[in-house]
């Protein structure tokens, strides 16, 4: 459960806007990448200080600037970034506190967007990183907890001038980042689907307490996903309906497209939840059915052998005068009667469909 809930208590009593990193610390140093492009040129550079950003951007004022920072533990760096871009202290605080709900906040000069990027490897449990995006006039700032391949395909499209990305503005770049993250949810869903399918096949064959365990782990992962998806839907919807001058009208329809994807993801998550509930029902009734099976075996055995044992007991009594004992065929007669009783019992159970 450690990942569902971050230790915020270390912030109690601090002023709002106090910069304290809440979350995991993956690397020692943040990595800062600066990309600048327009339709005609492209430049990519790794810089070590945000101040470098200023010098870089002053050299050449054309095009769109994308500053990406991997690693959120360097408070000093974020103070610099905040000052450089005029970010509100609360935004800075949110960027480095990795327990935010997805949301969109319009601060006039820039729009602050925060999302969760899920990655669930096939045999691992579901993890999420926080990705923050600042969409300003002609620039994008993006922040993630640790370096990942997340932005690689976007960078590639910019580098190779694939699609429309070099022709469009910073809002389209923001859209590309969000779209990338949302597309990744489909991968997560497919992994979950495989696990559910596997579990379902399992359920038919054998039911062990570990099945219940697995159902509940999947349920919890769906709860985690859901917790992120509903506010994400709101956040993207806010971008779609935004009347900020930072978002071009023609980009709105692309956010609508992401919105539709999120709705489809939510639908699938709800369907998975229904399926897991159904599997829980099957699991519980399988236990009951199995108890029935066990009890039937016991009852059949007891019902056949108790009367027979009683009969044997009767003729094991030591009364002096027991005429049957003297009979020539007494023993075989009793064995015969026992066989008849046993057969009658079996027939009774067959009629009751217990056999």
Residues 161-180 that bind its own copies (CB under 8 A): 162-165, 175-176, 179-180
HEC letters along 287-321: HHHHHHHHHHHHHHHHHHHHHHHHHHHHCCCCCCC
In total, the chain counts a number of residues equal to: 355
Site for its own copies in 301-330 (CB under 8 A): 301-303, 305-310, 312-322, 324-330
Q: Which is nearer to its own copies, 143 or 255 (CB)?
A: 255
Residue 48 vs 153, nearer CB to its own copies: 153
Enter the tokens of residue 148: 């990942």
Task: Report, in Å, the least distance between residue 47 CB and its own copies.
Answer: 26
Identify the helix (H) or strand (E) that includes residue 226.
Answer: helix 209-241
**Closer to its own copies at the Cβ: 10 or 76?**
10
Q: What is the nearest approach in angstroms of its own copies to the Cβ of residue 59?
A: 30
Which residues, 6+ apart, have CB-to-CB distance to 287 below 8 Å?
Answer: 207
Q: How far is the CB of 113 from its own copies (least distance, A)?
A: 14
Of 122, 124, 243, 288, the one binding its own copies (CB under 8 A) is 288
> What is the spatial distance between Cα 181 and Cα 95, in angstroms, rounded to a whole number?
17
Query: What's the DSSP call for residue 238?
Result: H
Q: Which of 193, 202, 237, 252 binds its own copies (CB under 8 A)?
A: 193
Q: Binder to its own copies among 61, 205, 206, 249 (CB under 8 A)?
A: 206
Q: Are 311 and 269 in contact (CB under 8 A)?
A: no
Taking the complex as a whole, the smallest distance from the CB of residue 65 to its own copies amounts, in Å, to 21
Q: What is the largest CA-CA distance in the chain?
A: 124
- Contacts with its own copies in 77-136 (CB under 8 A)? 88, 90, 93-94, 99-101, 103, 105
Stretch 1-60 residues interacting with its own copies (CB under 8 A): 1, 4-5, 7-9, 11-13, 15-18
Question: Given the rule CB under 8 A, which of 36-44, 53-61, 119-127, 186-194 is the region that contacts its own copies?
Answer: 186-194
Least Å distance between CB 331 and its own copies? Answer: 4
Assess 264 for contact with its own copies (CB under 8 A). yes
User: Is residue 77 helix, strand or coil?
Assistant: helix
Tokens of 212: 């219940």
Please, are residues 64 and 169 in contact by the beta-carbon 8 Å criterion? Answer: yes
Q: Rounded to the nearest whole angstrom, what is the least distance from the CB of residue 63 to its own copies in the complex? A: 19
Question: What is residue 272's three-state secondary structure?
Answer: helix
CB of 180 to its own copies, least distance (A): 7
CA distance 151 to 133: 12
Beta strand pairing status for 31-37 and 64-70?
antiparallel
């Amino acid at each position: 459960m450690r990942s569902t809930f971050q230790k915020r208590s270390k912030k109690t009593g601090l002023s709002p806007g106090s910069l304290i990193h809440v979350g995991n610390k993956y690397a020692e140093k943040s990595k800062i990448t600066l990309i600048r492009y327009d339709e005609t040129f492209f430049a990519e550079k790794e810089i070590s200080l945000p101040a470098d950003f200023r010098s870089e951007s002053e050299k050449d004022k054309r095009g769109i600037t994308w500053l990406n920072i991997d690693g959120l533990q360097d408070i000093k760096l974020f103070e610099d970034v905040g000052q450089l871009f005029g970010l509100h202290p609360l935004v800075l605080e949110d960027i480095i506190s990795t327990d935010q709900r997805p949301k969109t906040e319009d601060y006039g000069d820039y729009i602050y967007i925060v999302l969760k990027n899920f990655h669930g490897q096939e045999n691992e449990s579901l993890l999420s990183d926080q990705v923050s995006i600042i969409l300003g006039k002609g620039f994008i700032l993006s922040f993630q907890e640790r370096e990942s391949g997340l932005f690689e395909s976007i960078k590639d499209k910019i580098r190779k001038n694939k699609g429309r990305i070099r022709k469009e503005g910073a809002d389209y770049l923001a859209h590309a980042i969000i779209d990338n993250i949302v597309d990744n949810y489909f991968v997560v869903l497919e992994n979950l689907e495989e696990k559910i399918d596997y579990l379902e096949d399992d359920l038919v064959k054998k039911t062990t307490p570990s099945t219940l365990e697995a159902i509940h782990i999947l349920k919890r992962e769906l709860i985690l996903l859901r917790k992120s998806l509903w506010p994400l839907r709101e956040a993207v919807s806010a971008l779609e309906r935004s009347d900020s001058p930072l978002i071009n009208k023609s980009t709105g329809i692309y956010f609508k497209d992401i919105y539709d994807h999120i709705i489809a993801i939510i639908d699938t998550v709800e369907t998975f939840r229904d399926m897991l509930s159904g599997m829980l029902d099957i699991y519980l009734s399988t236990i009951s059915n199995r108890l029935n099976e066990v009890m039937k075996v016991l009852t059949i055995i007891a019902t056949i052998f108790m009367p027979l044992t009683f009969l044997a007991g009767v003729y094991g009594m030591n009364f002096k005068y027991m005429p049957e004992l003297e009979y020539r065929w007494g023993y075989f007669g009793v064995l015969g009667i026992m066989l008849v009783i046993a057969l009658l019992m079996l027939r009774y159970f067959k009629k009751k469909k217990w056999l």
